[in-house]
Chain A
Amino acid sequence: MKSPLVRWSVVSVSLALALTSCAKGTGGGAAAPSQSPGQFDPGAKYQGAISVMGFGATDEIGTTRVDKAKAALGGADVKLIEGDLDIQQFLSAVAAGDPPDIIYANRDQIGTFASRGAIIPLTACVQGEQIDTSMYNKNALAQVTFGDEVWGIPEFNQVQITMANAALLKKAGLTIEDVNGSNWDKVTAATKKLFSAPGGKLKVIGYDSKLPEFLPLWAKANGADLLSADGRTAQLNSPQVVKALEFAVGIYDAQGGFAKVKALRDSADFFGKGNQFATDALGAMPMEQWYVNVLNDVSPKAPLAFDTFRTPQGEPLAYSSGSAWAIPKGAKNPGAACRFAKTMTLVDTWKAAAQARLDKRNADKKPFTGILTGNVKADEEIKAMLTSGGEPWDSGVKAFYEANDHTFSLPANPADNEFKKAWQDGVNRVLNGQDKPQSSMDKAQQEAQAALDKAWAGWTKRTN
């Protein structure tokens, strides 16, 4: 005879199995519910609490704008869930039916969230709140446009420029033109002149081509896009991409290999006074524009030189990336969320934030070297507020504004993360010496295309 304990256990497990047989997703299924412009009234006042996930108003640029947004809501309390957006936490919240009211995400995440139905389209929000989308950077807006609808409101913008150590350049008889990317042979030659490895131990990185993250930049400079304009076809193993990869990896090979360069790169006090330019540990690299502000702040006397990143034809070029606001499916107060996103990115709001930064910099007797937003009109206004920091800082600021006028971005697609992972893994395999460029990018192409095909099929199934 079975003991009562065993019988009870059997009953419990049977109950669990019975429940499992009824198991279904916690999500609501297909496409996100459509909204009407009437739900987004620009005259409405909002009460209660608005939860914002992934955004920390940690400086005057953030706090000034959040204050403006609070005022625009008409009384609602804004609760910030700080730190980078935690995808696991966010999706769990959506699945559980208790999402935040608005999220702050990377623009390259928007396509995946949209295709899964985790966020709602903002067409009605844009119409109802009368948001003038023409003020946003075209590339930034394209990155958050998916299936002919806008799914995110662009926030900050990031572009790359060439940053170099002027003292090391001068000592090697070089100029910034030798390392701005306009002539790849010159970049390779300059790398060999600038790098230093006494006794085989790397002491100075001549040039850092910033792989794997900047492969799209090198590929575009060589005339290739990693992804077709419609976001459906991977182009990772095209001859131009492979050639760009060979060149950018060759830069590391010329200095003893990526492992050594990466180890030295990691050892620098990147955000502090011991940064690689101040300590003469790096000749040159392409880098995002915000680093100009960091360098100016922590090592204003470092011997720097700046230029735009240039194509072999000499044209400025930058790979645009950045952040955006999106409203989750099931958000309790989408109207307030829409108003929040709108206000955070309005020209006047950005100007107020820039003024706060300017006041702080003046108080510290330092120049205001600018910020780049996803709002082109705001960028123009802020540009007029800049204060001169003398050379080389003025050249740096000039370079990133010029770069901002010559950007490209990867189109939105429903498998952003897998696509990115595929090409980055492809580059990493080459950097680690585990594979050759062509073979590695062939594998990356297969992985990326399979992920894209599956994700697009899922999107088609959900929307038909």
Chain B
Amino acid sequence: MSASRTKAPRRRRAQWIETRAALLFISPWIIGFLVFTAWPVINSAYLSLTDYDVINDPNFVGFDNYAQLFEDPKVGLALRNTFVFTVLSVPAHIIVSLGLALLLNGATRATGFFRTAFFLPKMTPPVAVGILLLLLFNGQNGLINGFLGVFGIDGPAWTTDPAWVKPGLVLMSLWTVGSSVVIILAALRAVPQELYDSALVDGAGWWRRTLRITVPMISPTLFFLFIVNTINALQSFTEAYTAFFGSGNTTYSNDAALFYAIYLFQQAFEFLHMGYASALAWLLFLVIMAITGVQMLVTRRFVHYEGGQP
């Protein structure tokens, strides 16, 4: 009895020493997180309740900024644009990535080369992608319309016609599928060969094997990409900003490309409404949380985990 009494404080002391050591080792991360993540997040919540122009002291206005969100027609426009872009780009991104990864998986010697080739565009700075968009998709002499012209198709004015701006941006976003291709390829390589062998014995063709074995087996990876790409699409900024709102286009801006993050940036750094921009940021945060939550609930039953639900 007395021995166990003396052991317990010793154990607690040992645990505390271990915890302290662990905290000490991860303290650079903790400090970095508090200073560069937690503090700005908390401060942004505070600023969203103020009228703040960066230079002068913030003036507390309660929930006025949040009330303004519902009266501002551009918030609705920006949200609609962002949703449309997300709905178009995320499936396109995953389908193209999966297609390329399946092709690569079938290749043998050249896999390494193509993997690098597909990934390289991902290294292009997003600003350059925005400028490339203007060049490649120019309705008059862009490469895309030139290519369509070979088949007798008179391509649209991708960069100036509001109806074609978002499809153009979606196509351009496929420029960066490389990272998803690499991730899917890794997942494809992890699918047990025995499953394919059994299916072959049963007479299953390529399409059936892909649909019944490959896709279910890599569904956790596809689900991960689905979530991450959705969040990225909802935060889209640089390419569209460079192409339609940046320094080369300061006068002509196309509302069809006004994504939520662009409007947020304009309010914060062009009009100096940092308080309102903070409220916009929190609304985006809530929207992303809600969409991600719904996605997780809806898609859970389509995701196959070998060891059961995580």
Contact = CB atoms under 8 A, between A and B. Distances in A.
Interface of A: 3-5, 8, 12-13, 16-17, 19-20, 23-25, 27-30, 84, 87-88, 91-92, 94-95, 112, 116-118, 200-202, 212-213, 258-260, 262-264, 266-267, 329, 415, 417-418, 421, 424-425, 428-429, 431-434, 451, 458, 462
User: What 6 A-B pairs come out closest when comparing CB atoms?
Assistant: A263-B139, A25-B57, A259-B160, A27-B55, A213-B251, A259-B157
Given A87-B269, A260-B139, A421-B266, 9 more contacts: A16-B34, A87-B270, A91-B55, A262-B252, A266-B138, A418-B271, A421-B270, A425-B255, A434-B162
Nearest to B54: A91
B277 to A, nearest CB: 12
Given A92-B54, A266-B138, A462-B56, A17 B42 contact: yes
Contacts of A19: 39
Nearest to A264: B140
B197 interface: no
B38 A13 contact: yes
22 contacts: A5-B19, A8-B23, A16-B34, A20-B42, A20-B46, A27-B54, A27-B55, A28-B56, A91-B272, A95-B54, A95-B55, A259-B161, A263-B140, A266-B160, A267-B141, A421-B270, A424-B251, A429-B255, A432-B254, A433-B162, A434-B255, A462-B56
B234 to A, nearest CB: 23
Interface in B123-142: 134, 138-142
Interface of B: 16, 19-20, 22-23, 30, 34, 38-39, 42-43, 46, 52-58, 134, 138-142, 154, 157, 159-162, 247, 251-256, 266, 269-272
B253 A417 contact: no
B46 A23 contact: yes
Contacts of B30: 8, 12
A4 B254 contact: no
Contacts of B54: 25, 27, 91-92, 94-95, 116
A116 B140 contact: no
A24 B19 contact: no
Given A12-B30, A12-B34, A116 B56 contact: yes
Contacts of B161: 259
A259 B56 contact: no
Nearest to B162: A432
> In this complex, which of B53, B57, B161, B162 has the most chain A Cβ atoms within 10 angstroms of its Cβ?
B53
Given A25-B57, A29-B56, A428 B272 contact: no
Contacts of B34: 12, 16
A200 B159 CA distance: 18
A117 B39 CA distance: 27
